Chains A and B, each alone.
Chain A
Amino acid sequence: MVYDQLARPVYGVIRRVVRDPAQSEEVAQEVLLEVWRSASRFDPDMGGAATWVLTIAHRRAIDRVRSAAAAAAREHRVAETPEPRDEVAEAVEASLDRERVQRCLGGLTEVQRESITLAYYGGYTYRQVAALLGVTLAAIKTRIRDGLIRMRDCLGVS
């Protein structure tokens, strides 16, 4: 079912960033509604529809955790951020895509992998990631980009 195909990654990615189930559903609802409202303005030239929807989902999730109200909860979360490798491994249901993404993540250097998972699943900015990993800003920008390029080639994204 299409709903599952998109609703599951939409909810999953929001849940990963936001953590709290009730807040995650709220954000997911906002996303579904935004997709519904602006479907006629979707521009296929800008990339695939799944990418469009999931970009909205990730950005809304980020907005939520970066808002001032969430600041306190976040401080708390830093301590319990699991190993990036577990982030992916802990996922609820094994699937081909998950295995593939995991395999490709496994092919990165540790810093590349950590910076990507902290930024994407953790919702941290590259500056925060640099601070968390204790590397320079210039290094983190490069690690993230190089890591994603390797991921892209590994996944076979055109």
Chain B
Amino acid sequence: MNSSEVKPLGQLRRGGKGIISRLGTPEYSSEIIERLMQMGLLEGAQVEIMHEAPFGKDPIAVKVRGSLIALRRHEANAVEVMAHE
């Protein structure tokens, strides 16, 4: 299927959405991962990129578990999503 592939969340554009498949790659500290999780970014959760900041399209605002969470693309890349267009 070419309609769904695993991508880091930080690489999606506005309107991009998917289901979180995995959290954390070795280059991210467990602190970041824990904070992301506490904001609701957990495996199995639906995410959608709602907004991109005006300058440089970074940070981004994602909708997850009914809340709108702002984060930089760098940290968002710690979240892998099964993206579907």
Q: Tell me if chain B binds chain A.
A: no
User: A residues near B, CB below 8 A?
Assistant: none
